[in-house]
Structure 1
Amino acid sequence: MISNRPLLSRVAATTAAVVLVLGTTATPATAAVPDSARMVALGDSITRAAAADGTLDAQPQNSWSTGTASSVNSHLRRLEAAGVDMTGANHSRGGDRSVHLATQATNAVGTTSADYVTILIGGNDICYASTPSGTTAPDVFEANVRRALDIIEAGNPDTRVLLASVPSMMSLWRVGRDNLTIRLRWSLIGICPVMLANPTDTSAAANSRRAAVEARVDEYNRRLAKLAAERPNVFYDNGAVHNTPFTPADLSVLDGFHPSLSGQNKIAKVTWDEAVRQGLFDVG
Structure 2
Amino acid sequence: MTESHHTGSDRSKRPHPSGRLRPRTVTISAFAAILVAGLVLALVHGSSSDGGSGKGAQRAESSARPHAKPQRIWDRSPGSIAAVGDSITRGFDACSLLSDCTKVSWATGTENEVDSLASRLLTDPRGKSWNYAVSGAVADDLPAQMRKAADVRPGMVTVMSGANDACRPSVARMTPVEDFRADIREGLRVLRAESPKTQVYVSSVPDLRRLWQQGRKNPIGERVWGLGICQSMLKDPQSMDKAAHDRRQQVYDRAVDYNSVLKEECAKDLRCRYDNGAVFRYRFTGAELSNWDWFHPSKAGQRSLAEMAYRQIVARRPTG
TM-score scaled by length of structure 2: 0.73
Give the counterpart letter for 2:131 in structure 1.
N
Q: Which of residues 94, 112, 122 is equivalent to 1:70? A: 112
User: What residue number does 2:221 align with?
Assistant: 182
**Residues 1:2 and 1:70: Cα distance change in structure 2 (over 3 Å):** farther
1:6-38 C-alpha deviation (Å, 9 max, x unpaired): 4246xxxxxxxxxxxx5xxxxxxxxxxxxxx22
1:93-131 C-alpha deviation (Å, 9 max, x unpaired): 01110001111111221x33121000001111112x332
Q: Deviation at 1:72? A: 1.1
**Residues 1:139 and 1:50: Cα distance change in structure 2 (over 3 Å):** same
Q: Which of residues 282, 299, 303 is equivalent to 1:244? A: 282
1:6–1:279 Cα contact (<8 Å) kept: no
Q: How many residues align?
A: 250
**Residues 1:2 and 1:213: Cα distance change in structure 2 (over 3 Å):** farther
CA distance in structure 2 between the aligned counterparts of 1:279 and 1:175, rounded to whole angstroms: 32
Give the counterpart letter for 2:184 in structure 1.
V
1:183-210 C-alpha deviation (Å, 9 max, x unpaired): 22212x3211110011110101110000
Gaps of 5+ in 2: 1-68
The CA RMSD measured in Å over matched residues stands at 2.1
Q: Are 1:123 and 2:123 matched, yes or no?
A: no
User: What residue number does 1:144 align with?
Assistant: 183
Further displaced range: 100-109 or 50-59: 50-59
Secondary structure of the structure 2 residue equivalent to 1:100: helix
1:75-109 C-alpha deviation (Å, 9 max, x unpaired): 1000125x888700100001110001111111221
TM-score scaled by length of structure 1: 0.82
Q: Which of residues 218, 222, 233 is equivalent to 2:260? A: 222
User: What residue number does 1:34 align with?
Assistant: none
**Residues 1:256 and 1:168: Cα distance change in structure 2 (over 3 Å):** same
CA distance in structure 1 between the aligned counterparts of 2:299 and 2:283, rounded to whole angstroms: 15
Q: Are 1:39 and 2:81 matched, yes or no?
A: yes
CA distance in structure 1 between the aligned counterparts of 2:169 and 2:99, rounded to whole angstroms: 25
User: What residue number does 2:30 align with?
Assistant: none
Secondary structure of the structure 2 residue equivalent to 1:245: coil
2:76–2:315 Cα contact (<8 Å) kept: no
Give the counterpart letter for 2:80 in structure 1.
R
**Residues 1:279 and 1:210: Cα distance change in structure 2 (over 3 Å):** same
Q: Deviation at 1:176? A: 1.7
Q: Are 1:52 and 2:94 matched, yes or no?
A: yes
Q: Are 1:171 and 2:215 matched, yes or no?
A: no
Q: Deviation at 1:249? A: 1.2
CA distance in structure 2 between the aligned counterparts of 1:86 and 1:221, rounded to whole angstroms: 32
**Residues 1:77 and 1:96: Cα distance change in structure 2 (over 3 Å):** same
Secondary structure of the structure 2 residue equivalent to 1:41: strand
CA distance in structure 2 between the aligned counterparts of 1:61 and 1:40, rounded to whole angstroms: 14
2:71–2:270 Cα contact (<8 Å) kept: yes
CA distance in structure 2 between the aligned counterparts of 1:222 and 1:116, rounded to whole angstroms: 22
Q: Are 1:271 and 2:309 matched, yes or no?
A: yes
Q: Deviation at 1:4? A: 5.4
Relative contact order, higher structure (CA 8 A, sep 6+): 1
Q: Deviation at 1:71? A: 2.2
Give the counterpart letter for 1:87 in structure 2.
K
Gaps of 5+ in 1: 10-21, 23-36
Q: Which has the larger radius of gyration?
A: 2
- Where in structure 1 do 4 or more consecutive aligned residues deviate above 6 Å? 83-86
Identity %: 34
CA distance in structure 2 between the aligned counterparts of 1:8 and 1:194, rounded to whole angstroms: 38
User: What residue number does 2:138 align with?
Assistant: 97
2:118–2:125 Cα contact (<8 Å) kept: no
Q: Are 1:209 and 2:247 matched, yes or no?
A: yes
1:37-68 C-alpha deviation (Å, 9 max, x unpaired): 22100000100111112343211111100112
CA distance in structure 2 between the aligned counterparts of 1:210 and 1:96, rounded to whole angstroms: 21
